């Protein structure tokens, strides 16, 4: 049972860290006078839940901007 608790605690800690990173990043964006789009918010929510990596979220955002610029 101890190992299962350790794994659960590690997952919870990782999620808290992802939440903190997203909160700090979006606050930084706001301080610069910008807003985070709904699409990016949805990707960041998926990142916080552990459903995608940060790299995947960033790649999706980049792809959206490349499509819009074309």
Range of the domain at 9: 2-69
List Cα–Cα distances, 52 to 30, 31, 56, 60, in angstroms.
Answer: 24, 26, 6, 11
Per DSSP, 16 falls in state: H
Average confidence (pLDDT) over 21-35: 97
pLDDT in tens, 3-18: 878 888 899 999 999 9
Q: Both tokens of residue 14? A: 């990782």
> Are 7 and 36 a contacting pair, CB within 8 Å?
no
Q: Taking the CB of residue 8, how many other CB atoms lie within 10 A of it?
A: 10
Residue 6, pLDDT score: 84
d(CA 32, CA 14): 27
Give the pLDDT mean for 51-69: 90
Total domains in the fold of the chain: 1
Q: What percent of the chain has pLDDT over 70?
A: 94
């Amino acid at each position: 049972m101890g190992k299962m608790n350790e794994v659960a605690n590690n997952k919870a800690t990782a999620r808290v860290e992802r939440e903190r990173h997203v909160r700090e990043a979006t606050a930084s964006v706001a301080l610069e006078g910008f807003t985070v789009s709904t699409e990016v918010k949805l990707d960041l929510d998926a990142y916080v839940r552990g459903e995608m990596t940060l790299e995947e979220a960033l790649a999706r955002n980049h792809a959206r901007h490349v499509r819009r610029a074309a």
